[in-house]
Amino acid sequence: MKTGTLTQLFFEGIDKYAGTHSAAYRAKVGGVWRAITHRDAGARVKAISVGLRELGVQGGDRVAIVSETRPEWALADYACLCARATDVPIYPTLTAKQTEYILGDSGAVAVFCSTVEIVNKLRESRGRLPSLKHIIAFDDPGRRDGVITLAEVEARGRSADGRYPRFREEALAVTPEELATLIYTSGTTGDPKGVMLTHNNIWSNIDACLRVFPLTAGDECLAMLPLSHVYERMVDYTMWTAGVIVNYAESFDKVAQNLGEVRPTIVLSVPRLYEKIYAKVLENALAGSAVKRRIFFWAKKVGDQWATYRLAGLPVPSILAVKYALADRLLFAKLRARTGGRLKCFLSGSAPLSVEIARFFFAARLPVIEGYGLTETSPVLTVNPFDRPKLGTVGKAVPGVQLEIAADGEILAKGPNIMKGYYNKPEATAEAIDVEGWFHTGDIGELDADGYLKITDRKKDLIKTAGGKFVAPQPIENMIKLNKFVANAVVLGDKRKFPIVLVVPNFETLEKWAKERNLSYGSRGQLLALADAKAKIEREVMGMLRDLAKFEMPKKVVLLEHDFTIESGELTPTLKVKRRAVEKRYAELIDKTYAEADPMAAAVEG
């Protein structure tokens, strides 16, 4: 079997594209999009890598990166790989205590960090981290006490350049089985685990994805996810390998603006982005005149019919084609224009996307290509074929990956992309990878006759009611979130008599509704306390769930004043809800809801 390394891909990218491409990366600095060419990236990576070696960093050492997504992150990453060091990405949103744990557990000898705030967080922990020798700041850290800047590391590397005549050869001497990165997965119970990924784990995944996905050297990508997450990072490597220019969005909130500026051909994100775009389109349509609403729903219906034929690989009837051309002009073309007008597709991962939303985007000729994977699988296991996606699935196994469904429905995977194991945790590794080499994903799913995988839910998230019925919360939550009055939803009910749902309203829509009805309130909390507002949200939520089995139906809707955030610890950096954290924060409210619904049971338990 063919194997490879990330340093090999790095130097191949420079050799291929340095003379042909205007940029490898672009980012907005001072309000202007600025480019870093392949040649610039090669020179800077060499300077940083030699600078690290001058600081005493050796092959096999761990070097952490604590930063938001920006070009310096990618340069520091490649510099570590070229120094044959193992880099350790850390989310900048983690607390000082969480960051300290990862730095200590990994034994990091140096850490790159972006802002003054992060530098200050690390200063507090430094005395408790005997392995940590160097803090390297991307931005000016102000006080210098033991902190050096990235510019100083680069300058040190450039001045020592003559002492490393075999730099490229030494960087390419890394073996495929050497550790490339140590990525800590967030622990919902206990400390996070360090996932050990080798060069070949990630290289094989890049190679597999390039064989099934049609990227060209003329493409441009808009990237907005954390590079600390393996999904964004592997995609970055893939884009570099294919000669695709990576444009880093300023922030998640500025994606709409950046789409118009960059005019990308490929966008990678998570379902939350597509949910927000769909909600905005729906809201604009419903806020318009009666004529505008009729046009929207007619065009959407025609788009659905057109999509049904196209997805089935059937020719579109001529009358429908004429209708679709009009629907496209009235609705879908406007949406494509707002994405810059060049977009070939969206890529989506990290969580399931509603079929209704996926169908809408497909009808707009903006297909959302869903895939599936985990940190432990480098990450991609499956991806929908670009020319034959199947909505509601995460596609077929990529080349080299084998999938099996266990007796209890758990998805098992085998292939060259499966991690080496969990760092210093042999027992956890043995639990995850069985003696036959199958990795146990922790997800429940099924394979159809054509080999497409459908995910039901996380095994640990399945709700088992007190009556012994199993309820998969994610599909229910996705149905509820299609409603324009809902911003977020979490279904709970494990070991309880029935499920309930916590709902964060879309306050923009709810407040507009309240104003039309002359409801008076002083705050959002007071608005949610109004009987009319409560009843309205309950009707909207329950109206989305008519097709559920009786045991799946939430019996109570609990309204929350504040949405879930990364900062509050209720969302992961890829915007997935951390169910246990939400349960913990609202434990009192949840217990009260169940007690009011079933006072006799509450009295017995109390």
Q: What does pTM read for this prediction?
A: 0.85
Q: In this structure, is residue 217 part of a structural domain?
A: no
Q: Please say whether the dihedral angle defined by the alpha carbons of residues 573, 574, 575 and 577, taken in this order, is positive or negative.
A: negative
Give CA–CA dist 375/418, Å, rounded: 9
Q: Are residues 498 and 445 in the same domain?
A: no
Percent of the chain topping pLDDT 90: 79
Q: In this structure, is residue 116 part of a structural domain?
A: yes
Give CA–CA dist 246/69, Å, rounded: 12
Q: Residue 550: how many CB atoms within 10 A of its CB?
A: 7
pLDDT score, position 606? 42
Q: Are residues 455 and 473 in the same domain?
A: no
pLDDT, tens digit, 9 for 90 and up, residues 360-392: 999 999 999 999 999 999 999 999 999 999 999
Report strand pairing: 220-223 vs 134-137. unpaired
Residue 276, token pair as written in the block: 């927000």
pLDDT at 118 over 50: yes
Q: Are residues 30 and 48 in the same domain?
A: yes
Closest CA to 377 of 394, 389, 363, 361: 394
Domain count, the chain: 3
Contact 315, 309 (CB under 8 A): yes
By CB atoms closer than 10 A (0-12, 13-18, 19+), residue 513 is buried
Q: Are residues 57 and 31 in the same domain?
A: yes
* CATH code for position 341: 3.40.50.12780
Q: Are residues 441 and 553 in the same domain?
A: no
Confidence of residue 600 (pLDDT cuts 50, 70, 90): very low
pLDDT score, position 462? 81
Residue 52 sits at φ, ψ, to 5 deg, of: -60, -45
All residues at 6 or more sequence positions from 498 whose CB lies less than 8 Å from its CB, including other chains: 465, 551, 553, 554, 555, 597
Domain that holds residue 432: 269-459
Q: Are residues 453 and 486 in the same domain?
A: no
pLDDT, tens digit, 9 for 90 and up, residues 517-541: 999 999 999 999 999 999 999 999 9
Give whole-number Cα distances, 525 to 281, 528, 560, in Å.
Answer: 27, 5, 8
Instruction: Look at residue 405 and give its three-state secondary structure.
Output: strand
pLDDT at 603 over 60: no
Q: Are residues 449 and 550 in the same domain?
A: no
Percent of the chain topping pLDDT 70: 98
